[in-house]
Structure 1
Amino acid sequence: MKTVICTKYGPLEVLQLQEVSKPIPKDSQILVKIVATAINSGDARIRSLDVKGIFKVIMRFALGFSKPRSLILGTVFSGIVESKGNKVSKFKVGDRVFGMTGFQFGTYTE
């Protein structure tokens, strides 16, 4: 599946389109085929590490020193449940869902 990765902090040009293998959801997870995501000012600040003073050091501790720990950025999504773990009962394949991943990121992908 196609995904946009960020291998270092910097301007928009540091983002790269790559092909990655599709993850398999664990027992209590769902796999969502992302139909839409959003890029906001917070995403741009994280990608470029555009913060001032001591916050830059704090962000590096939280997100990664030389590059983002999570190479796939993005926090909000909408999509369709593609598969699910065997302990998931609230969702079924084909359900339309939306949500936010928080600091787990990962929505700049199919």
Structure 2
Amino acid sequence: MPPADPVELERLARDSLLAPVPGLNRDDLLRVAAHAAAISGAAELAAGYADLIGPSAPPSHEALLAYAERLTADSVTPDDLAGLRDAGFGTAAIVALSQLVAFVSYEVRVAAGLRALGGAR
């Protein structure tokens, strides 16, 4: 069996993390991904996610973006989780958000590493 294509594996992982879960649609998840990338300083990645948001998508719930920001800064507290629950988000949504923000953080680091390797030539 040939080795897996890392680019294809990354695309499959991203697609699975952007799949709707109870309480969150794809546009919500894309908005969270764009926000997490933007606050990490990855403007191009943020724009890539933002470009995928549907034209008629309603704004994301502010609690989602606040959670993404706190998680990106590694400062989530039990109160943040309670805030999401109070806003109507269940366990599946909270786990999906957490996984997505972690994945965006991974993408930001991979991009930074590739830029550093390109600059070392």
* TM-score over 0.5 (shorter chain): no
Going by fraction, where is helix more abundant, 1 or 2?
A: 2
Query: The TM-score by the shorter chain falls in which range?
Result: under 0.3
Specify which structure has the higher proportion of strand: 1
State the TM-score, normalized to the length of structure 1.
0.25
Q: Higher relative contact order at CA 8 Å, sep ≥6: structure 1 or structure 2?
A: 1
